[in-house]
Amino acid sequence: MQKINLSEMEESSRCSPAGKYQAFFKEISVALGREKDSLDLGKRHPFDLMLTRIPAGKAFCPYHSEGSQWELYLVVSGRGKVRDSSGTNEVSAGDAFLFKPGEAHQLSAADDEEFVYYVVADNPIGDSCYYPDSGKWAVRKEGDTNVLVKGNETNYFDGEE
C-alpha cells in the first residue's frame, strides 16, 4: 500500500498573467506514484485525485469542455460558482457534481471566501479540451505538453489534396 498525508504535501499553484485565474492544488495521485507520461495504466493510474483551493473572487481556469474526460467534484469548504450550459449555479460544502465529456464548465470562488474541493478525473490518454468563449482547442503533443490552437471550422480534406 502506498500512503501519503495531505498535511505533508506541498501545494502547487497556478496564476494567469492578469490574475483572473488562480488556484492552489495538491496532486494526490502524483504523490501516490502516478506517472503522467506513461502509457502503462499501472503507472499512469486509471483516475486522478486532486485537492484544489481557489482564492476568493478567482476562477480555476476558463470555461472549457474536455473531449473525453469525466470529472467528479466534491466541495469541501467555502462557496463556489459553477458555470455550465444552463448558466451559473452556487455550490457549497457537501455538494457533489459531475461533468461528462463534452460538457463545458468553469469553477470559481465566491467573491468573499475561498473555495476548496476534490476533483476525481478518469485521466484518458489523448484527451483534448475546447474553450467555447475564445474558440481555442488544447491538444496534446508527445509527452504531457499541451498545444493551444485557434482556428476556423473547415472541411476534413482542406489542404490535403
Q: Where are the domains of the chain?
A: 8-125
- Residue 156 in this model has a pLDDT that exceeds 70: no
Cα–Cα distance, 55 to 23 (Å, whole number): 7
pLDDT tens-place string over residues 4-38:
999 999 999 999 999 999 999 999 999 999 987 77
Fold of 8-125: Jelly Rolls (2.60.120)
pLDDT tens-place string over residues 39-82:
787 788 888 999 999 999 999 999 999 999 999 999 999 999 99
Cell 460558482, located at residue: 81
Type of residue numbered 7: S
Sign of CA dihedral 108, 65, 73, 93: positive
Q: Residue 119: beta bridge partners?
A: 50, 73
- Contact at 8 Å (CB) between 119 and 76? no
pTM of the model: 0.89
Exposure of 101 in the CB half-sphere (CA atoms within 13 A): 9
More confident residue, 138 or 81: 81
pLDDT tens-place string over residues 92-117:
999 999 999 999 999 999 999 999 99
